[in-house]
Amino acid sequence: MGKKGVGMGQTGIYPVQDWVALRGAWCYEQARVVATGSVRQRLEAQRLRVVVLGLVGRGKSSLLNALVGEPVFATGAVHGVTRGAQAVDWRVGEYPVELVDTPGLDEVGETAAVWELALGAELVLLVLSGDPNRLEINILSRLVRSGKPVIVVMNKMDQYPPAAQAQLQARWQSGKLARWVAGTDVVWVAAQPTGWQKTATGKVVRQSLAPQVEELRRVLVTQVQTLAPALLALNALHTTAQQPPLLAPPAQTEALIWRASTTKALAVAVNPLLGVDLLIGAAVDGALLLRLARRAGVTLTPVEASKLLYLIAGSLGGLGVGSSLLAGLLAGGGLWLPYLALATGRGAVAGLATYLVGRLGWQYLVQGKTWGTGSAREQVHRLVGAIDQGAVLARLRQYLHHPPGDGIQ
Ligand SMILES: Nc1nc2c(ncn2[C@@H]2O[C@H](COP(=O)(O)OP(=O)(O)OP(=O)(O)O)[C@@H](O)[C@H]2O)c(=O)[nH]1
Ligand SMILES: [Mg+2]
């Protein structure tokens, strides 16, 4: 199933001396066990994400166009041509590669989103077009400190006479830059070179020349073909290691979350109108989040609370709460079942939603109103997956069948 022989139980086909492949394959298997979300999807599909990064106008879009051999992305001399990240599918041997173009990093406002993409990629191409300025050195330093595999692409080399190019090269071979990036990871290209030509009338005009990116293509092909499993594994393990585990709230807080869950479960179960669920839900969940915020010592405005609720509840739709609702209904006996069983199923699912809102809300609040690295949706998805929903549903059902005070418990 795996490409390059990398798959379950196939690591033994590597010659023992082939350490890179052997370690890559081993890490790959480890990463498959722990990775979650979109990183896991890429890992399973052995699909690499390569992101270009660089300041405005360095030729990022031109470079990707030259690599794929088609004018996929808009380019131009004006400031900030690329406004949002866009991807194009490419392929290196058997490996699908997603090449992602990003807006220039000195474009105000886009920085966080671009960094999130770059730090989540298997490989970053940092595009420069001359000696790096201070901002570019900071960018490179952040990439290196994050342990991100980087290829430095020195673009627009048609603009440098050979002597100037030699000077540039010397700086990558000694000093600070050389300590950060190996010489073999600095590649010299001209993505959209221009030259001057004399017309029949004697006028000298600017003329587009063929791109010179073969060296980069060669480096990419070699790296991807030998290192794809290792690059995927490295990124997946790194991302996973940075993700905070699901936090267990203190007993009193857990009790508060549980009380809100059973309150909602009961309210929904005894209410015969389906649409009323939503109203009760929003009220109970919103109030719970505000109380949790007070306990965590964090300020949360009602608007923030409803945004948080919207985010968590929105993710639950795709996480099987909808299907567990259906399962709850069917487990109760199908369409002919007595109303009580149906209502109990509905109530338990509504209570489960509140429980998840409480646990995730608590995590978000005590972490200082952040989900950590990665997209909020993905983090919510991952944390919900870490909660035993079946057990919570069973407890809620039991509660609804025998609420405390009916003499049975
Ligand atoms: N001479 C020369 N010009 C180039 C080269 N590569 C790109 N350019 C020019 O540089 C300008 C910017 O190129 P883009 O590819 O749009 O740059 P970008 O980094 O995507 O820019 P933003 O999207 O605005 O951040 C364009 O006018 C290109 O024609 C090159 O190798 N040589
Ligand atoms: Mg661009």
* Residues in Cβ contact with 201 at an 8 Å cutoff, skipping those fewer than 6 apart: none
Token pair in block for residue 75: 């380019």
72 lines ligand 1 (CB under 6 A): no
Give the model's pLDDT for residue 245: 82
Which regions in the chain score pLDDT beneath 50?
1-12, 318-339, 407-409
The confidence score (pLDDT) of residue 152 equals 96
Which protein residue has the closest C-alpha to ligand 1 atom 11?
A: 77
Q: Choose one of 56, 62, 114, 207 to mutate for the ligand 1 pocket test, by most ligand atoms within 8 angstroms of C-beta.
A: 62
If you measure from the C-alpha of residue 160 to the centroid of ligand 1, how many angstroms do you get, rounded to a whole number? 15
The closest-lying atom of ligand 1 relative to the alpha carbon of residue 55 is 25
pLDDT of res. 317: 58
Q: Does the Cβ of 56 fall within 6 Å of ligand 1?
A: yes
Using the atom order of ligand 1, give the atom closest to the CA of residue 58: 19
Q: Give the predicted TM-score (pTM) of the model.
A: 0.69
Residue bearing the CA closest to ligand 1, atom 14 = 59
Nearest CA to ligand 1 atom 27: 77
Residue 323's pLDDT is what? 38
191 lines ligand 1 (CB under 6 A): yes
Q: Please, what are the domains in the chain? A: 3-242 (3.40.50.300), 251-401 (no CATH)
pLDDT for the residue 386: 85
What is the pLDDT at residue 107? 53
**Closest by CA position to 157, among listed 200, 201, 116, 188:** 188
Neighbours of ion ligand 2 (CB under 5 A): 60-61, 81-82
Ligand nearest to the CA of 76: 1
Q: Choose which residue among 56, 75, 100 to substitute to test ligand 1 binding: the one with the highest number of ligand atoms within 8 A of its C-beta.
A: 75
So what's the pLDDT on residue 273?
A: 66
**In terms of Cα–Cα distance, which of 29, 42, 26, 2 is closest to 378?**
42
What span, in angstroms and rounded, lies between the C-alpha atoms of 281 and 252?
A: 22
3-state secondary structure the chain: CCHHHCCCCCHHHCCCCCHHHHHHHHHHHHHHHHCCHHHHHHHHHCCEEEEEECCCCCCHHHHHHHHHCCCCCCCCCCCCCCCCCEEEEEEECCEEEEEEECCCCCCCCCHHHHHHHHHCCCEEEEEECCCCCHHHHHHHHHHHHCCCCEEEEECCHHHCCHHHHHHHHHHHHCHHHHHHCCHHHEEECECCCEEEEECCCCCEEEEECCCECHHHHHHHHHHHHHHHHHHHHHHHHHHHHHCCCCCCCCHHHHHHHHHHHHHHHHHHHHCCCCCHHHHHHHHHHHHHHHHHHHHHCCCCCHHHHHHHHHHHHHHHHCCCHHHHHHHHHHHCCCCCCCHHHHHHHHHHHHHHHHHHHHHHHHHHHHCCCCCCCCCHHHHHHHHHHCCCHHHHHHHHHHHHHCCCCCCCC
Question: CA–CA separation, 242 vs 373, rounded Å?
Answer: 7
Ligand nearest to the CA of 191: 1
Which atom of ligand 1 lies at the shortest distance from residue 79's CA?
24
Centre of ligand 1 from the C-alpha of residue 186, in Å: 19
Is the C-beta atom of 155 inside 6 A of ligand 1? yes
Q: Which of 79, 155, 159, 192 to mutate to test the pocket of ligand 1 (most atoms within 8 A of CB)?
A: 192
Whether residue 376 has its Cβ less than 6 Å from ligand 1: no
74, 64 Cβ separation under 8 angstroms: no
